[in-house]
Amino acid sequence: MRMYDLIRKKRDGGELSKPEIEFIVNGYTNGSLPDYQMSAFTMAVFFRGMTARETADLTRAMANSGDTVDLSAIKGIKVDKHSTGGVGDTTTLVLAPLVASIGVPVAKMSGHGLGHTGGTIDKLQSIPGFSVELSERQFVQNVNQIGLALTGQTGDVAPADKKLYALRDVTATVDSIPLIASSVMSKKLAAGADAIVLDVKTGEGAFMKTLDESFVLAKAMVEIGTELGRQTIAVVSDMNQPLGLAVGNALEVKEAIDTLQGHGPADLTELCLELGAHMTVLARKASDPETAKQRLRDQICSGAAVAKLKQFIAAQGGDASVVDRPEMLPQAAKTVVFKSETDGFISYINAETIGTCAMLLGAGREQKDSAIDLAVGIVLQKKIGDQVATGDPLAVLHLNDDARLPGVISLLRESFEISPVPVPKPPLIYGVVTREGIERFY
Ligand code: URA
Ligand code: CA
């Protein structure tokens, strides 16, 4: 087999066979195929696309390119959740204890985040004593005993995807639906999930800016999961403004605690109930999403959800009293209130630039090993549709380094738009994609 012929075949719109796709993925992973040939290939895929079968074969080959996680020692149906990115996405911190509290096993291995804030693993490290380095034995034991464990990634998961994603990033081939779908799903597959719930973000702050594209991506991922024997459901949700109010590590832990106690932001709560309901149904702990959602709501009201969070923190060496005393979380040296300079209604909050502000304050990593400041970040005080008067707080900045303030303030000014006339609140959930089809609400 020659790479030249495979590039030409895809360039001319042909369909590659499974052995051909495996040849490409294996060759690229082991270094026998050079970047320039792989670049030409990804550009051909960008223009020609891939069939559902080709995309599934690409996903499987990438999932098998490195270490795979074996969760078979854990009882029950392991359902993983994945979000296609966004800003201040606190859902994992809420969902893990929430669904675990009704018996859905959560066994999650996460990497460190590269982005506006750290990943879930970084956020949890703001809890005093909390360990994100469990041995495999401890990990399995915790899930079997309390239904929930979260640990840092060990081993080399989907190295083909890592290498390919980096190449796509510099060759203008990231935004290809088969390439995004296979990239996301290869990592989920390698992580050992039996079933997968996807939160596909749509809007300004997301990969997919239009609703139509977002549904196409959601459908592509559901088809891959189905083809590879993992039941998969995708929810398409809004990213035209940050989800919830907090963007920052310790700040999001606090927000997750609030949400599990029943007084979190409405949008974060609603999305967690929706995603959690699908996880519950896939784990066969409820027969339909509405029943599941009601049970999850009950877990929040009764205190069972937050009790599970405490149990989880204690089981990983953390101090669970942080839940009742969130002031034990890392605190920034000072807070600065960013105020509205006009009267009106919030019509736009740029999630992307709000995320960049949090990163500039030190909440996220620009490079793989940069240190992050767990205490800093932004807490929004208003969301789209809210009325504001001049001088009203729009956001509170938590910061440790004054030198960063002027840059952040000028970017924040660009992040909000205020309209003189009332603005409706945008929808939160646009639809659900299952293997039976697409249900669109908008
Ligand atoms: N997230 C991924 O993991 N891969 C992509 O290609 C895009 C988003
Ligand atoms: Ca948030």
- DSSP state at residue 318: -
Evaluate: CB of 180 within 6 angstroms of ligand 1. yes
Please tell me the number of the ligand nearest to residue 182's CA: 1
Based on the fold, state whether residues 320 and 335 are members of the same structural domain.
no
Question: Is the distance from CB of 43 to CB of 159 less than 8 angstroms?
Answer: no
In a domain, 142, yes or no: yes
Residue 346 has pLDDT above 70, yes or no: yes
Based on the fold, state whether residues 362 and 303 are members of the same structural domain.
no
CA 161 – ligand 1 centroid, Å: 9
In a domain, 352, yes or no: yes
Which numbered atom of ligand 1 lies nearest the CA of 184? 3
149 strand-pairing partners: 107
Based on the fold, state whether residues 271 and 309 are members of the same structural domain.
yes
Which numbered atom of ligand 1 lies nearest the CA of 187? 3
Residue 153 has pLDDT above 90, yes or no: no
**For 153-179, what is the mean pLDDT?**
93
Based on the fold, state whether residues 40 and 138 are members of the same structural domain.
no
**For 152-166, what is the mean pLDDT?**
91
CA 180 – ligand 1 centroid, Å: 5
Inter-CA distances, 80 with 20, 203, 207, 284, Å:
30, 24, 21, 14
Q: Which domain holds residue 395?
A: 331-419
What's the confidence (pLDDT) of residue 428? 96
**Start-end of H helices in 33-124:** 35-48, 52-63, 91-100, 120-124
Question: Is the distance from CB of 182 to CB of 224 less than 8 angstroms?
Answer: yes
Top mutation candidate among 59, 83, 176, 207 for ligand 1, by most atoms within 8 Å of CB: 207
Which numbered atom of ligand 1 lies nearest the CA of 183? 4
Indicate the pTM of the whole model.
0.95
In a domain, 39, yes or no: yes
Q: Residues with beta carbon < 5 A to ion ligand 2? A: 88, 90, 244, 246
Evaluate: CB of 165 within 6 angstroms of ligand 1. yes
Which numbered atom of ligand 1 lies nearest the CA of 179? 6
The CATH number given to whatever domain includes residue 275 is 3.40.1030.10
Based on the fold, state whether residues 235 and 384 are members of the same structural domain.
no
Q: Which residues form the catalytic set?
A: 82, 161, 168, 183, 187
Based on the fold, state whether residues 359 and 407 are members of the same structural domain.
yes
Based on the fold, state whether residues 291 and 409 are members of the same structural domain.
no
Residue 217 has pLDDT above 90, yes or no: yes
**Start-end of H helices in 119-265:** 120-124, 136-146, 159-169, 177-190, 211-227, 249-260
In a domain, 65, yes or no: no
State the total domains in the chain. Answer: 3
CA 183 – ligand 1 centroid, Å: 5
Based on the fold, state whether residues 172 and 309 are members of the same structural domain.
yes
In a domain, 58, yes or no: no
Evaluate: CB of 183 within 6 angstroms of ligand 1. yes
Question: Token digits for 68?
Answer: 């795979």
Evaluate: CB of 184 within 6 angstroms of ligand 1. yes
Based on the fold, state whether residues 270 and 130 are members of the same structural domain.
yes
Based on the fold, state whether residues 303 and 335 are members of the same structural domain.
no
In a domain, 137, yes or no: yes
Residue 113 has pLDDT above 70, yes or no: no
What's the confidence (pLDDT) of residue 87? 76
CA 267 – ligand 2 centroid, Å: 10
147 in the Ramachandran plot: left (φ > 0), alpha (ψ -120 to 50) or beta? left
Tens of pLDDT, residue by residue over 384-404, are: 999 999 999 999 999 999 999
The CATH number given to whatever domain includes residue 21 is 1.20.970.10
Burial 30-39, CB ≥16 within 10 A → b, else e: eeebeeebbb
The CATH number given to whatever domain includes residue 399 is 3.90.1170.30
> What DSSP assignment string belongs to 363-426?
SS-SSTT----TT-EEEES--TT-EE-TT-EEEEEEES-GGGHHHHHHHHHHHEEEESS--PPP
**For 160-175, what is the mean pLDDT?**
94
Top mutation candidate among 173, 174, 199, 239 for ligand 1, by most atoms within 8 Å of CB: 174
CA 135 – ligand 2 centroid, Å: 30
In a domain, 60, yes or no: no
In a domain, 66, yes or no: no
Based on the fold, state whether residues 39 and 175 are members of the same structural domain.
no
Q: Return the beta strands (E) in 272-350 as ranges.
A: 334-339, 344-349
Lowest-confidence range among 49-63, 94-108, 300-314, 352-366?
A: 352-366
